[in-house]
Chain A
């Protein structure tokens, strides 16, 4: 019975998918679409009997008859409309996607710079070997029906290439704006980021909406490949509002001595799930995955991080913080797979949650699979309301209980924000967090 329902809910995408599969596209894209389509047909939608989805009920996404945006929309947006989502006063490369498709007139820096090429998938002719080699290779729809669906569409998204030894000073900002014109729409951004040997780059992803309360679904997949010695600093800001559903899977593979630092800031949606899968393929690679999520009544945030230590002397860190208010939930899964031979693995994780309401709940679980003997793996979790003795400290300095609680909450959250190395983002997020929790 469940299977029948399941397939009935899939059929609503079949005509859209059939139309897309007829379109001409580079071979690499056609291949990914075909494989995605096949897998989407095979895979069940995730449900709560699957370990990775135990605490995240995606039925509201599965049951909503979303209309996929399969062509660039008439949006009428102009640059000033985007000022609060973009950084117009910074000399950055900014690719703005509106309802899933690149809006060149709202973007800037598309010409790239020495050592850096940026493009959108829909404009790709499929002739760059660096992209061909990697497109769809990290994750060919294999992890869930959702990533398969994303692959089957593969309509647009960002393509980034940073050449060997290049270190562009300008961050590359990918902005995904959704608009709604009276119907529940879905977009499936598909991104590929390739850093060659010793390349360095800063990548910022922002997911926002012009009308945050409207029901929308974003189902994004990003693949990132870091060559030997490469360094990727990545910040994701998810702020598309209480009406949104957001699923994202980012698969990263790291060469020898490469470094990947990630920050995920999520400011609350109906169901948000951010999945990061990092393969530490080369010896001495390092990754640090940081996160902060703030949820309010009726919201769910699911952070799933999986790190595969496949080579010796790699280091990983997962540090996620959450502040939960109202009847909201957060789910955290930190999975570490230490493969045979990955000696001297150093892996730590910490999940800290502040509960502002007694109706908020958190499910946190580390998962360690260790097949090497010389490893250091630690994990920890804290959950609780703002500590009374800390609030008391504020009060003895003349501040009200509400002020103490508000500042404690702000401080707890801002610890993650204050680590950001990109000042304009740090300042904007700092203000956001302060405004959210500061007492009147």
Chain B
């Protein structure tokens, strides 16, 4: 589904990603861990099409398309979704309107009919129930005045409505309380399926108890330096990253 080869990217002239390679097959869940500043969000943003980052080398194909050639909106229409580490606030646009507009753009690109407000409201109600968000959030401006955890939950709501093929969750678990963590994880698990893949960026092994990944990768200084199964996360939790650093130094 997603094939990343030797991806290099710079921001404002500084090299951040230095040769990431990653293969994600349909239905797989990949967790990406790594110390602060190692480039996890940069990787997520580059996949989503943020033009503030310059890709200098490498390739990314998604469902057979050269992802790097596509603007962000076309990537979204193709099924790439990014849950932001820091979702922005949008004044004056309700959550419901924002999502309806986005969903309809995606539907149009697939030759599907747009949903009218009535049908959309019904869909939104179901999805809000699924991720346990108070219905009143539908009419509040996007993320405005939301608490940190509410913003993260709202990202998951958006994912549930847009039903992407590849969801990249950038530290969606940070800032969630214990109940919210469970609700969000259950939401993700409900969306898991043979055609949908996930890249989950997290600092905490705990999340991976709820969302059991197929692979765990360690991103370090802009490259994946170690990969394994879910047990790698446990090992990292126990030993920290120094161990990875040492291994790298001796290699």
Q: Is B84 an interface residue (CB 8 A)?
A: yes
Q: Is A346 an interface residue (CB 8 A)?
A: no
Q: Cβ of B93 and Cβ of A411 under 8 Å apart?
A: yes
> Which of the 9-residue segments B22-30, B47-55, B227-235 touches chain A?
B47-55
Q: Which residues of A are found within 8 Å of B72, using beta-carbon distances? A: 392, 395-396
Q: Cβ of B88 and Cβ of A418 under 8 Å apart?
A: no
Q: Is B9 an interface residue (CB 8 A)?
A: no
Interface residues of A in 243-292 (CB under 8 A from B): none
On chain A, the number of residues with a Cβ less than 8 Å from chain B's Cβ atoms is 24
Q: Which residues of B are found within 8 Å of A397, using beta-carbon distances? A: 76, 98-99, 101-102, 105, 158, 162
> Which of the 9-residue segments A126-134, A194-202, A367-375, A402-410 touches chain B?
A402-410
Q: Which residues of B are found within 8 Å of A392, using beta-carbon distances? A: 50-51, 72
Q: Is A399 an interface residue (CB 8 A)?
A: yes
Minimum C-beta distance from A407 to chain B (A): 6
Minimum C-beta distance from A321 to chain B (A): 10
Q: Is A390 an interface residue (CB 8 A)?
A: yes
Q: Is A389 an interface residue (CB 8 A)?
A: yes
Q: Cβ of B109 and Cβ of A398 under 8 Å apart?
A: yes
> Digit string of B203-236 for contact with A (CB within 8 Å is 1, else 0)?
0000000000000000000000000000000000
Q: Cβ of A393 and Cβ of B99 under 8 Å apart?
A: no
From B76, B141, B158, give the contact of A395 (CB < 8 A): B76
Instruction: Knowing A395-B71, A398-B76, A401-B73 are in contact, say whether A412-B92 is a contact too (CB < 8 A).
Output: yes
Q: Is A415 an interface residue (CB 8 A)?
A: yes
Q: Which residues of A are found within 8 Å of B92, using beta-carbon distances? A: 410-415, 418
Q: Which residues of B are found within 8 Å of A410, using beta-carbon distances? A: 92-93
Please name the residue on chain A nearest to B78 by beta carbon.
A398
Q: Is B106 an interface residue (CB 8 A)?
A: yes
Q: Cβ of A398 and Cβ of B77 under 8 Å apart?
A: yes
Q: Is B103 an interface residue (CB 8 A)?
A: yes
From A390, A393, A407, give the contact of B101 (CB < 8 A): A407
Please name the residue on chain A nearest to B161 by beta carbon.
A397
Q: Cβ of A394 and Cβ of B91 under 8 Å apart?
A: no
Q: Is A125 an interface residue (CB 8 A)?
A: no
Additional pairs, 20, CB under 8 Å, beyond known A394-B90, A397-B76, A415-B91: A387-B88, A388-B52, A390-B88, A393-B84, A393-B90, A394-B73, A394-B98, A395-B72, A396-B72, A396-B75, A396-B76, A396-B81, A396-B84, A397-B162, A398-B77, A399-B101, A399-B105, A403-B101, A411-B90, A418-B92
**Closest CB pairs A-B (n = 6):** A411-B92, A397-B102, A395-B72, A411-B93, A398-B105, A398-B106
26 contacts between A and B (CB under 8 A): A387-B88, A388-B52, A392-B50, A393-B88, A394-B90, A394-B98, A395-B49, A395-B76, A397-B76, A397-B98, A397-B99, A397-B102, A397-B158, A397-B162, A398-B76, A398-B102, A398-B105, A398-B109, A398-B162, A399-B102, A399-B105, A400-B73, A403-B105, A407-B90, A407-B93, A415-B91
